[in-house]
């Protein structure tokens, strides 16, 4: 139920994102759904993200509601943890997110910081990406621990490390 509300609350932004997805598909781009988020890449998105995002060199990926558009599939993989934090931000702020984001950039610049990197939403996304990386490392370690319990990795052990 809460998930449904989160999707509805972010829906006006998602609708904008889906227009980009349609453009991408019409221009030969690809699309897929990864953990409840529509991801699109390629086609005209490469040019759009390079030229129309007001950052030096453009952006590799941009989140609009429950849609993430990226230049390429590797860009989607590389930016997923960061962009998922933005998805959660859209779920929190709903239709007000883009305005709130613009205000946060203005506040960052007024304080003498960078409009992008010091924007509080970006700071949260960059911090979230790092937390995600730590969780991933923990998950890999835990998976190994489980594997060891099951003796699945015993064949890869060298004789010296076997007990």
Residue 156 Cβ vs Zn ion, minimum distance, rounded to whole Å: 38
Question: How far is it, in rounded angstroms, from Cα 72 to Cα 84?
Answer: 17
Among 37, 45, 125, 128, binds Zn ion (CB under 5 A): 125
Choices 54-62, 70-78, 96-104, 122-130 (CB under 5 A): range interacting with Zn ion:
122-130
Question: How far is it, in rounded angstroms, from Cα 95 to Cα 109?
Answer: 23
Choice between 46 and 122, CB closer to Zn ion: 122
Choice between 25 and 115, CB closer to Zn ion: 115
Choices 43-51, 120-128, 136-144, 149-157 (CB under 5 A): range interacting with Zn ion:
120-128
User: What does DSSP assign to residue 20?
Assistant: H
Residue 125 Cβ vs Zn ion, minimum distance, rounded to whole Å: 4
Residue 38 Cβ vs Zn ion, minimum distance, rounded to whole Å: 17
Listed in sequence order, the residues at least 6 apart from 145 whose beta carbon sits closer than 8 Å to its beta carbon are none
User: What does DSSP assign to residue 161?
Assistant: G
User: What does DSSP assign to residue 55?
Assistant: S
Residue 139 Cβ vs Zn ion, minimum distance, rounded to whole Å: 23
- The DSSP H or E segment spanning 72 is none
Choice between 52 and 145, CB closer to Zn ion: 52
Size of the site for Zn ion (CB under 5 A): 2
Residue 163 Cβ vs Zn ion, minimum distance, rounded to whole Å: 47
Choice between 39 and 122, CB closer to Zn ion: 122
Site for Zn ion in 20-79 (CB under 5 A): none
Q: Which residue of this chain has its Cβ atom nearest to Zn ion in the complex? A: 125
Question: How far is it, in rounded angstroms, from Cα 56 to Cα 50?
Answer: 9
| DSSP characters over 81-114 | HHHHHHHHHHHHHGGGHHHHHHHHHHHHHHTTS-
Cα dist. 148→135, 141, 152 in Å? 20, 10, 6
Residue ranges in contact with Zn ion by CB under 5 A: 122, 125
């Amino acid at each position: 139920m809460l998930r449904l509300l989160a999707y509805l609350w972010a829906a006006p932004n998602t609708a904008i994102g889906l227009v980009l997805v349609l453009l991408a598909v019409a221009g030969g781009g690809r699309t897929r759904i990864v953990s409840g988020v529509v991801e699109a890449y390629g086609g005209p998105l490469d040019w759009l993200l390079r030229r129309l995002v007001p950052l030096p060199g453009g952006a590799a990926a941009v989140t609009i509601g429950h849609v993430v558009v990226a230049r390429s599939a590797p860009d989607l993989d590389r930016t997923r943890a960061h962009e998922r934090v933005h998805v959660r931000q859209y779920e929190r702020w709903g239709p007000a997110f883009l305005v709130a984001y613009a205000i946060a950039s203005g506040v960052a610049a007024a304080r003498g910081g960078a409009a992008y990197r010091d924007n509080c939403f970006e700071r949260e996304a960059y911090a979230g990406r790092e937390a995600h990386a730590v969780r991933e490392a923990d998950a890999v370690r835990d998976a190994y621990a489980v594997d060891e319990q099951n003796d699945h990795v015993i064949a890869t052990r060298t004789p010296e490390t076997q007990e």
